Amino acid sequence: MRLADLAAWVPKRRHSVALDTWNSQYASGYWEHLQSVAELAHYSLIVGYCKHFKPRGAILDVGCGAGVLQKLLSPHYSRYLGIDLSEEAIRRARTCQEAMTSFLQADAALFAPEARYDVIVFNECLSYFERPLQIMRRYEAYLEPHGLFVVSNVVRRRTAMARKTLESHYRRLDRVMAENSAGIRWELEVLSPPRA
């Protein structure tokens, strides 16, 4: 068997960070800074986009972490589901679970929602996937008709490829940059999938 043939049998890495790393980071408090005022601008823009484009819409938050976005969105949705790879993040997020809000530990590369959503948010998570466009294309099937993606990425070299890849496939309804006092910059976009 040739080396190229053998490579086809080896499972492709779907994530750039291992599950146990995510769990230990959440357990140690490494991600607590996401609840600080330094992160508020980009979270507020996501909330604003959701409320403007799909008031009281059903929201799927892919890579929800410990549920920071949900706390800022509540009660401005009809239904919210947050998923994250980290069991520890989801354990923390579930402290805010209520009738129309739920959190689920799931691998975004494999997860198949049981419902459709008006908005699917990818907040700072797409660049962790080897093929970000492939991940988003999977989720097109879980958007309601005229549903939208809201994507937020920290502007870094690592995220540049994810941003450029999306530009070639989706219609951009809006794009904005945000920067905090520490000089961290985010690019946020509202994207519409191609319609048949």
pLDDT digits (tens, 9 = 90+) for 141-161: 999 999 999 999 888 776 677
Q: Calculate mean pLDDT across residues 67-78.
A: 95
| pLDDT of 7 higher than 50 | no
Quick one: three-class SS letters along 72-100? HHCCCCCEEEEEECCHHHHHHHHHHCECC
Domains of the chain: 37-192 (3.40.50.150)
Whether residue 189 contacts residue 151, with contact meaning beta carbons closer than 8 Å, is answered with yes
Per-residue tokens: 195: 């319609």
If you ran DSSP here, which 8-state letter would residue 96 be given? Answer: G
Q: Which residue has the higher pLDDT, 89 or 14?
A: 89
Q: Which residue has the higher pLDDT, 48 or 164?
A: 48
Residue 65 corresponds to which amino acid?
A: G
Whether residue 122 contacts residue 149, with contact meaning beta carbons closer than 8 Å, is answered with yes
Band (pLDDT 50/70/90 cuts) for residue 17 is: low
